[in-house]
């Protein structure tokens, strides 16, 4: 009899974390590796946020807090939702977790019964299916084609719904593709969901503030008839360059929020008191740097997309959000190159060119790879030259 649980055997370690760790190990061994695998801004946490944390430490704000968030942070989150998304929540409709990932994990642990289905459009963030499996649910993967800009269509959603469907996950802007759903597209999807009243919606809005090309962010909870069925998750990790501070939050129905609180009370309990104080300042303080940093991300996006599309055998759509591109390497797979899968392509790219990226199959769509351009332009220029040289020498 194995000591390891059957549930744990169903899942695998995070591929994105694995790639990042591999890059670290190679650099420690003296290899000049450029890591384009991690979804982590290279910008530093703004000083006003750091100072708020220092003030909290010096003021003795280092004790346990309420399990799912301090009153001050919940107040800041409520203000944010109202101001930026026109969504009104009470304290009982807000939860704070140790990163957005914990909020999602808690939600599935609190709501899924064995056999419940969760519709997950692919390409998807790597952790969605495994979190569903750990909670005893069943991921129902819906492949979204490049021809549809990797987006879920109302037709595909309608066909995927069954009597067992409990949740739909929507991630916009998307990890790994960077594409963002328009207000019109969200409304069309909502028309399907309105007819299926038992389905809950999990909206992952973590990249809300990182959008380009005059795209206006719209989240599905803004559809009045769906707000009371939607858990809207967000956090400070990406927009505020606070990945290590580990603060995520969500607004949603009281019943679900209460259940999430119960799960968290028996797992991690409260998030860090100091991180919560910093998050209050992040949400309430100046937001000017967000636009400045988004402009820099856009420059990097434009450079990376242009560079990739000049490489023979690679084609890449231009995303309008987040800090990822999801280029196709399908033309470079086959007998001629002796590379059968995108995983082999990624492995060889790291081995031969010292560039770390993540295979598309890890995100549910074979024949692609994800690049995070949340690093300096200097490193991106070197990486693009290395990728070009690698691809040109595959013949």
| pLDDT tens digit sequence for 328-342 | 999 999 988 999 999
Flag whether 51 is in a domain. Answer: no
pLDDT above 90 (res 55): yes
Res 120 pLDDT > 90: yes
- CB-hemisphere CA count at 13 Å for 6? 2
CATH number at residue 221: 3.40.640.10
Are 19 and 101 part of one and the same domain? no
What pLDDT sits at residue 233? Answer: 98
Which residue range forms the structural domain that includes residue 194? Answer: 63-284
Mean pLDDT value across the chain: 96
pLDDT value at residue 215: 83
Q: What is the CA radius of gyration of the chain?
A: 21
Q: What is the pLDDT of residues 126-185, one digit of tens each?
A: 999 999 999 999 999 999 999 999 999 999 999 999 999 999 999 999 999 999 999 999
Do 297 and 273 lie in a common domain?
A: no
Helix (H, G, I), strand (E, B) or coil at 362: helix
Q: What is the pLDDT of residues 231-271, one digit of tens each?
A: 999 999 999 999 999 999 999 999 999 999 999 999 999 99
Residue 19 · residue 358 · CB < 8 Å: yes
246 with 191, same domain?
yes
Pair (216, 252) in one structural domain: yes
- Per-residue pLDDT at 312: 95
Does 68 lie in the same domain as 37? no
Number of domains in the chain: 2
Q: Is residue 56 part of a domain?
A: no
pLDDT of residue 294: 97
Long-range contacts of 362-365 (CB under 8 A, 24+ apart): 362/15, 362/16, 362/126, 363/122, 363/123, 363/124, 363/125, 363/126, 363/176, 363/326, 364/120, 364/122, 364/123, 364/124, 364/129, 364/141, 364/143, 365/122, 365/123, 365/143, 365/144, 365/150
Chain centre to alpha carbon of residue 94: 20
Q: Are residues 300 and 279 in the same domain?
A: no
Is 20's pLDDT higher than 80?
A: no
- Contact residues for 202 (Cβ-Cβ < 8 A; gap 6+): 104, 107, 167, 168, 169, 170, 230, 231, 233
Give me the numbers of helices (H) and strands (E) for the chain, helices first please.
Answer: 13, 12
| Model pLDDT, residue 26 | 83
In a domain, 50, yes or no: no
Among candidate residues 265, 284, 303, the one where a domain is terminated:
284
* 294 and 269 both lie in a single domain: no
Closest-CA residue to 33 (of 43, 41, 21):
21
In a domain, 49, yes or no: no
Query: The tokens 């000017």 sit on which residue?
Result: 288
Sign of the C-alpha dihedral computed for residues 169, 14, 355 and 207 taken in this order: positive
Specify whether 127 is located in the same domain as 245.
yes
């Amino acid at each position: 009899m194995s000591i390891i649980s059957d549930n744990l055997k169903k899942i695998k370690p995070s591929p994105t974390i694995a790639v990042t760790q591999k890059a670290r190990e190679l650099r420690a061994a003296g290899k000049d590796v450029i890591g384009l695998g991690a979804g982590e801004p290279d910008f530093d946490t703004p000083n006003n946020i750091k100072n708020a944390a220092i003030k909290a430490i010096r003021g003795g704000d280092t004790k346990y807090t309420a399990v799912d968030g301090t009153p001050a942070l919940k107040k800041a989150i409520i203000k944010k939702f109202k101001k930026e998304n026109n969504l009104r929540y009470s304290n009982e409709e807000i939860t704070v977790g140790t990163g957005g990932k914990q909020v999602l994990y808690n939600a599935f642990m609190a709501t899924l019964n064995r056999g419940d289905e969760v519709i997950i459009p692919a390409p998807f963030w790597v952790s969605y299916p495994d979190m569903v499996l750990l909670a005893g649910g069943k991921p129902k993967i819906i492949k979204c084609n490049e021809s549809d800009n990797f987006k879920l269509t109302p037709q595909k959603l309608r066909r995927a719904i069954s009597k067992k469907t409990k949740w739909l996950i929507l991630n916009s802007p998307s990890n790994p593709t960077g594409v963002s759903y328009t207000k019109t597209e969200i409304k069309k999807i909502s028309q399907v969901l309105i007819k299926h009243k038992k389905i809950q919606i999990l909206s992952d809005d973590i990249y809300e503030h990182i959008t380009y090309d005059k795209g206006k962010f719209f989240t599905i909870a803004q559809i009045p008839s769906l707000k009371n069925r939607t858990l809207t998750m967000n956090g400070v990790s990406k927009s505020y360059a606070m990945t290590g501070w580990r603060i995520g939050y969500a607004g949603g129905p009281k019943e679900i929020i209460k259940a999430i609180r119960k799960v968290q009370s028996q797992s991690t309990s409260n998030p860090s008191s100091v991180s919560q104080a910093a998050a209050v300042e992040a949400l309430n303080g100046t937001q000017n740097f967000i636009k400045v940093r988004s402009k820099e991300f856009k420059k990097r996006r434009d450079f990376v997309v242009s560079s990739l599309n000049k490489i023979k055998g690679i084609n890449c759509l231009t995303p309008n959000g987040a800090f990822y591109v999801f280029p196709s390497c399908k033309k470079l797979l086959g007998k001629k190159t002796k590379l059968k899968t995108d995983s082999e392509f990624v492995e060889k790219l790291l081995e031969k060119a010292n560039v770390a990226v993540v295979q598309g199959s890890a995100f549910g769509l074979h024949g692609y790879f994800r690049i995070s351009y949340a690093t300096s332009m200097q490193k991106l220029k070197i990486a693009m030259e290395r990728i070009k040289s690698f691809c040109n020498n595959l013949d």
